Chain A
Amino acid sequence: MATTDHTAAVHETTVLERHELAAGVIHLSLDAPQLAGATRPGQYVMAIPPSAQTAATALAVYEAEGKRASLLFFVTGKRTRELAELRCGDRLDVVGPLGNGFQCMNNARDVAIVAGGVGIASVLLCARELLRDGARVRLFYGARTAELLVEAQRFADAGCELVLTTDDGSAGERGFITDALERARKPEAIYACGPTPMLRTVARIATELRIPAQLALEETFGCGIGGCWGCVVPLAGHSSQAPSFPPAVRGGSDVVYARICREGPVFLADELRW
């Protein structure tokens, strides 16, 4: 995985644009030139709540270009609701860019990106980098309904081939996106972000196909920057991403808990022991 960029900082940004892409799906563009310049695909920020009344919220950086960095998120609770109420011109302070993102240069010419729901927010920068590198990129994108299948056109415009699914069949095929992935032509590599059950299935498919998969994990964070060990995933002790721990023997294999926020959020599927 790409190593952590030490240009991370607290950025005092201003909301340039706010769009509600669907009910409860918000896209905020921020005036944040340093953040935009420093962010690598798959990285995220901790958005500091303007009210200071709740913990900061981890949000993927969706776009990063010029002076503009954007955040795409679903309103799921108190913290995201507060961020959804921001308007153009409002101030939003964010900490980032954080985490080890996708390693996009791996010489694969035919790659699959798999996104479930809000996971789409983590993969646009990755898709663009792969396309720039000359790869053929198929986006497998699933959501509950057609309305929630936001931003698909932007990926098509960027040059991705789209495979869409919805739970209710209102757009694309009806069913899980991982079923579509299994039926499709075998890619050389997979990049994925979405709910944990989807990522587990992607990991299984990658193992069966014997191809590398990079998974961006979602989890409830405490601090979001590595200080609290509240967001962990069992990782093979031999992983280059394993934190400094003596191999703790569990179930006959070397496993350590790695921080999703610090060692991740992107991990190699075959090194996870979940």
Chain B
Amino acid sequence: MVNVRPSLTTRIGQLELAYPTLMGSGCYGTGEEFAPFADLRKIGAIVLKSVTRLPRLGNPMPRIVHTSAGMLNAIGLQNPGIEWYLERELPKYSGRPCKLVGSVAGFSIDDYAYVTQRLAARSEIAAIELNVSCPNVASEGETFGCDPGLTARVVRAARAGTDKTLIVKLSPNVTDICAVAREAEAAGADALAVINTVRGMAIDVEAWHPRLANVSGGLSGPAIRPVAVLAVYEVAQAVKIPIVGQGGIETVTDALEFFLAGASAISIGTANFTDPRVPERIVAELEAYLARRGCASIDAIVGKANVGFATPHQYEGDEG
């Protein structure tokens, strides 16, 4: 038997990735910040920080609180607005050795349509992620992602403006994430990013005030990983489009859970704050795992979480 290196390439819609690893939006800057410490050739894509139609100052400080097994953030979509971004920021990113996914946030259906169309028209951008699930912008941001009907309208509006791959980032802060996932798929999404951060709060018990200026924030890190794995597992059975799994991935074992749950690719966010070498390490260890298990490609393990059951098992959710 010839020993062939397992293939880590994957496809998310039309987005072809050399590695099944994305760097989470808002966690990896423009890539330039991390370039001295991480080999950008060894990652699939960077999801850039979300951009909105108009400039946003962002939330006041404090914006970050470290918590048990994770952190809360409430940055508030600080960004220079789409016009400035296209003119002055994006050209600087053209030499990146990995794919770039643009992230779009908005406060109306029209915002999403406009910013998606403008951003997707640029050659630097390989795909678009629709951030319909930012928990940190005074109720408005997450409203879209928490309502299946509104999610569908955002996706249809964005879809009309581009043929490039559209990834819809889903919020876990919903009663039924599968309902939102199905609506996004029906409206033309090419892929789903599962999950965004989980809403949370921390309180300073001496000063008697919230530790984030925004009061609430988005919880990330290993604390949310089991929440994310289940969401991926359930969404994978509700839709046919590929899933980018994310939420607290720090090691190859964490990453494997997501692939087995049904993710075609993973996204790494907060773990970059612990050690910028994490993405490269995960890729190397994924390859070793696939070789050890005799798998020719990463695709071979996607959604195989139930294969290990001794008897056929039908997952019926948590109902009853």
Contacts and interface: CB of A to CB of B under 8 A. Distances in A.
Interface of A: 6, 8-10, 48-49, 52-56, 77, 79, 93, 95, 219-233, 244-246, 248, 250, 255-257, 262
A246 B61 CA distance: 20
A77 B66 CA distance: 10
B64 A232 contact: no
Contacts of B55: 245-246, 248
Given A48-B274, A56-B275, A230 B36 contact: no
Nearest to B92: A244
A54 B84 CA distance: 36
A2 B180 CA distance: 49
B33 interface: yes
22 contacts: A10-B276, A10-B277, A55-B71, A55-B274, A56-B275, A220-B66, A223-B272, A225-B37, A225-B276, A226-B29, A226-B33, A227-B34, A228-B75, A229-B49, A230-B64, A231-B63, A233-B61, A244-B88, A244-B89, A245-B84, A246-B81, A256-B57
Contacts of B73: 222, 228, 230
B27 interface: yes
A11 B161 CA distance: 46
Most interface-central of A6, A220, A222 (chain B CB within 10 A): A222
Contacts of B75: 228-230
A79 B55 CA distance: 35
A8 to B, nearest CB: 5
A50 to B, nearest CB: 11
A246 B250 contact: no
B274 A229 contact: no
B37 A232 contact: no
Nearest to A219: B61
B17 to A, nearest CB: 20
Interface string B54-95: 011110011111100101010100101100100011000000
A229 B71 contact: no
A245 to B, nearest CB: 5
B13 interface: no
B6 interface: no
Contacts, number: 107
B66 A223 contact: no
Nearest to B56: A248
Contacts of B28: 227
A23 to B, nearest CB: 21
Given A93-B275, A228-B29, A255-B57, 11 more contacts: A52-B274, A55-B66, A77-B66, A95-B276, A220-B66, A230-B63, A230-B75, A245-B84, A248-B55, A248-B56, A257-B78
A9 to B, nearest CB: 6
A30 B225 CA distance: 34
Main secondary structure of the interface of B (DSSP, over half): loop
A255 B60 CA distance: 12
B272 to A, nearest CB: 6
B36 A8 contact: yes
A9 B272 CA distance: 14
Interface string B21-46: 00000111100011011000000000
B246 to A, nearest CB: 15
A248 B84 CA distance: 12
Contacts of B274: 48-49, 52, 54-56
A48 B275 contact: yes
A8 B35 CA distance: 10
Nearest to B270: A55
B61 A228 contact: no
Nearest to B26: A228
Nearest to B63: A230
A48 B273 CA distance: 9
B64 A222 contact: yes
Contacts of A55: 66, 71, 270, 273-274
Given A233-B61, A250-B57, A223 B36 contact: no
Given A55-B71, A222-B73, A248-B57, A227 B250 contact: no
Contacts of A219: 61-62
Given A55-B270, A230-B75, A231-B64, A223 B27 contact: yes
B57 A257 contact: yes
Given A6-B36, A232-B61, A232-B63, A224 B277 contact: no
Most buried by A among B27, B37, B62: B37
B275 to A, nearest CB: 5
Contacts of B81: 246
A220 B73 CA distance: 11
Given A230-B63, A231-B63, A246 B80 contact: yes
Please name the 5 residue pairs, one residue from A and one from B, whose CB atoms are nearest each other, closest first: A227-B29, A230-B64, A226-B33, A223-B273, A227-B33
Residue among A55, A255, A262 with the highest chain B CB neighbour number at 10 A: A55
A127 to B, nearest CB: 28
Given A54-B66, A245-B84, A222 B277 contact: no
B33 A221 contact: no
Interface in B256-276: 270, 272-276
